[in-house]
Amino acid sequence: MTKVTPNPPDTDPTASCENPDSSNPDNTTDRTPSIADIKATPRKLCTFFTVNPDLENETLLAYACESLASANVMATDLADHLEGSSRNALLGIAQVIMLGELTVNRVLDRIESLE
């Protein structure tokens, strides 16, 4: 039985959302782009993941708060299975997540008090 696809597939893992122009003679894989090249190239947004622009700020903040709370629980639970410096590092990350959650909650409180 023969495989139809190569193993691994012939894809470039560094390719962006848009395919480069293969007819461009300056487009070589041997040349590393300079900072000037990167700044001069217009940015094409990849819309693979987008946030609905019609959502209200309060909805977005509430979702961000729930996501941060979930991340905090996951980090804390994982820290319970670790020891030593890895545990301390993960608890520090959980604390930063918690501070972000508190900040978003404060903004939500201010929005509610304005209404």
> Looking at the predicted structure, is the pLDDT value of residue 48 above 60?
yes
- Pick the more confident residue, 28 or 72: 72
Q: What is the DSSP string of the chain?
A: ---SS-SS----TT--SSPP-TT-TT--SSSPPPHHHHHHSPP----SS---TTS-HHHHHHHHHHHHHHHHHHHHHHHTT--HHHHHHHHHHHHHHHHHHHHHHHHHHHHHHH-
pTM greater than 0.75 (yes/no): no
> Looking at the predicted structure, is the pLDDT value of residue 55 above 60?
yes
Q: Provide the residue ranges of all domains of the chain, joining segments of one domain with +.
A: 57-114
What's the pLDDT at 35? 75
- Pick the more confident residue, 65 or 4: 65
